[in-house]
């Protein structure tokens, strides 16, 4: 897929998820085959630029290009400044958040709340596109509410402003995460504009991704919650879309090795105290479907020490490790 002047190696994008798509998770998903991984949103308010959260979110050390960084806010001048600031810190693509329904974001009239003000959307996009040399992308929902769906108008505003691609979560702001994803609305956006359209919402398997691409005509899919605890999913979808073949899920040994690597990366990125805490939710997602996963998680959830968290995780997967030498010998 081509986003402006940039080549994205396949048609699968990891969705921006605050609290989830930090640098370690993005690097992991890219290594396992995601074409692009969008950062957690970075606040555009200049007063928040030196908070620990922002400093961690603008850290792209070792992350492969193209690096897509999402910015959030409602003030065109702040957003344009934030775009410049993030490009200076390594962003290859600036993504603008007009899709997030979180109260914290919408209370300051940012995220999907912006969809209610089309003239402001136009001003923001023009300012941000003019501020940076890199491609600017936009993430939206299908409108503020089911009786005010305006994704097609917003997408046209975006294209006229010079935006390079639009990702559409096929629900309105009011619908939050409820109800079916509106493939018709995504298809209408695709038909209305000629820049790439990325379809998003409830995509949880390679087959479903193929179905969504066929139903919407979109250029790519964006995967969010289904990648939590399953960093293999974007890569598996990309492989399936390329080959048409079924992709084997990772075996226990690979699951264990990837999870242990992910934990170590979180400990290194956040430091031990915070890293161990951030790792807990990932541990629960990785293990929720495993037999005894619940019991393991209840124990590991109380641990404060990085070495202990790693040791308990290794123990949980002990069978995979015990059997590994036999498999290698066979
Ligand atoms: C924990 C969480 C955090 C999210 N944070 C953001 C965000 O920072 N910016 C954004 O545009 N969307 C955010 N979203 C929305 C996702 O990017 C995505 O649009 C949504 O989850 C639908 O895709 P899915 O059904 O594949 O999860 C978030 C979603 C979740 C679950």
Beta carbons of 111 and 140 less than 8 angstroms apart:
no
- Tell me the per-residue pLDDT of 76-101, one tens digit each, with 9 for 90 and over: 999 999 999 999 999 999 999 998 87
Q: Residue 318 — very low, low, confident or very high, per pLDDT cuts 50/70/90?
A: confident
Q: Are residues 132 and 7 in the same domain?
A: yes
Q: Among 59, 24, 34, which Cα is nearest to 282's?
A: 24
As a whole number of angstroms, the distance between CA 255 and CA 240 comes to: 20
Q: Are residues 310 and 162 in the same domain?
A: no
Q: Are residues 209 and 299 in the same domain?
A: no
pLDDT higher than threshold 80 for residue 55: yes
Instruction: Pick the last residue of a domain from 243, 264, 285.
Output: 243
pLDDT higher than threshold 70 for residue 106: no
**99 CB less than 6 Å from ligand 1?**
yes
- Tell me the per-residue pLDDT of 132-173, one tens digit each, with 9 for 90 and over: 999 999 999 999 999 999 999 999 999 999 999 999 999 999
Q: Are residues 238 and 256 in the same domain?
A: no
pLDDT higher than threshold 70 for residue 329: no
Domain housing 46:
2-243
As a whole number of angstroms, the distance between CA 28 and CA 234 comes to: 11
User: Which structure tokens are listed for 322?
Assistant: 């015990």
Q: Are residues 186 and 290 in the same domain?
A: no
Q: Are residues 63 and 121 in the same domain?
A: yes
As a whole number of angstroms, the distance between CA 137 and CA 320 comes to: 42
User: Which structure tokens are listed for 48?
Assistant: 């928040």
Give burial (CB, 10 Å; 0-12/13-18/19+) of 323.
middle
Q: Are residues 295 and 190 in the same domain?
A: no
**Averaged over 178-200, what is the pLDDT?**
98
**Averaged over 47-51, what is the pLDDT?**
90
Number of domains in the chain: 2
Q: Are residues 21 and 121 in the same domain?
A: yes
As a whole number of angstroms, the distance between CA 6 and CA 93 comes to: 9
Q: What is the pLDDT of residue 326?
A: 59
Q: Are residues 311 and 194 in the same domain?
A: no
Q: Are residues 237 and 278 in the same domain?
A: no
| CATH number of the CATH domain containing 81 | 3.20.20.70
Q: What is the pLDDT of residue 324?
A: 65
**Averaged over 202-225, what is the pLDDT?**
98
Please indicate whether residue 295 or residue 329 has the higher confidence score (pLDDT): 295
pLDDT higher than threshold 80 for residue 103: no
As a whole number of angstroms, the distance between CA 15 and CA 80 comes to: 22
Q: Choose the catalytic residue: 29, 100, 175, 287.
A: 100
CA 242 – ligand 1 centroid, Å: 25
Ligand 1 nearest atom to the CA of residue 139, by list position: 11
Beta carbons of 192 and 156 less than 8 angstroms apart:
yes
**169 CB less than 6 Å from ligand 1?**
yes
Instruction: Pick the last residue of a domain from 243, 266, 288.
Output: 243
Q: What is the pLDDT of residue 102?
A: 75
Q: What is the pLDDT of residue 84?
A: 98
**15 CB less than 6 Å from ligand 1?**
yes
Q: Residue 325 — very low, low, confident or very high, per pLDDT cuts 50/70/90?
A: low
**200 CB less than 6 Å from ligand 1?**
yes
Q: For this structure, is 100 an active site residue? A: yes
Q: Residue 322 — very low, low, confident or very high, per pLDDT cuts 50/70/90?
A: confident
Residue bearing the CA closest to ligand 1, atom 21: 224
Residue bearing the CA closest to ligand 1, atom 31: 225
**97 CB less than 6 Å from ligand 1?**
yes
According to DSSP, residue 47 is labeled G
Residue bearing the CA closest to ligand 1, atom 28: 17
CA 16 – ligand 1 centroid, Å: 6
Q: Are residues 237 and 132 in the same domain?
A: yes
């Amino acid at each position: 897929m081509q986003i402006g002047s940039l080549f994205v190696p396949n048609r699968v994008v990891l969705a921006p998820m605050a609290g989830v798509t930090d640098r370690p998770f993005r690097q992991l998903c890219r290594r396992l085959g995601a074409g692009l991984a969008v950062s957690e949103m970075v606040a555009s308010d200049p007063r928040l630029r030196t908070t620990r959260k922002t400093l961690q979110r603008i850290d792209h050390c070792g992350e492969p290009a193209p690096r897509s960084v999402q910015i959030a806010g409602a003030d065109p001048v702040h957003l344009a400044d934030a775009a410049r600031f993030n490009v200076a810190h390594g962003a290859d693509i600036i993504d603008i958040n007009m899709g997030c329904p979180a109260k914290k974001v919408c209370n300051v009239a940012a995220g999907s709340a912006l969809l209610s003000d089309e003239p402001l959307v136009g001003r923001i996009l023009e300012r941000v596109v003019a501020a940076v040399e890199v491609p600017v992308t936009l993430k939206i929902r299908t409108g503020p509410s089911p009786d005010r769906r305006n994704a097609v108008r917003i997408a046209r505003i975006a294209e006229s402003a010079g935006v390079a691609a639009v990702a559409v979560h096929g629900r309105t702001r009011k619908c939050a995460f409820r109800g079916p994803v509106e493939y018709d609305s995504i298809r209408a956006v695709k038909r209305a504009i000629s820049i790439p359209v990325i379809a998003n919402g409830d995509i949880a398997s390679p087959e479903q991704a193929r179905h969504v691409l066929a139903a919407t005509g979109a250029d790519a899919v964006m995967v969010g919650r289904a990648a939590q605890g399953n960093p293999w999913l974007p890569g598996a979808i990309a492989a399936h879309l390329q080959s048409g073949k079924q992709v084997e899920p990772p075996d226990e040994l690979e699951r264990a090795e990837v999870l242990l690597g992910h934990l170590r990366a979180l400990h290194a990125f956040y430091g031990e105290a915070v890293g161990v805490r951030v790792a807990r939710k990932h541990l629960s997602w990785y293990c929720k479907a495993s037999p005894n996963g619940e019991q393991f998680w209840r124990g590991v959830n109380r641990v404060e020490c990085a070495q202990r968290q790693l040791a308990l995780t290794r123990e949980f997967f002990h069978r995979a490790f015990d059997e590994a030498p036999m498999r290698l010998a066979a």
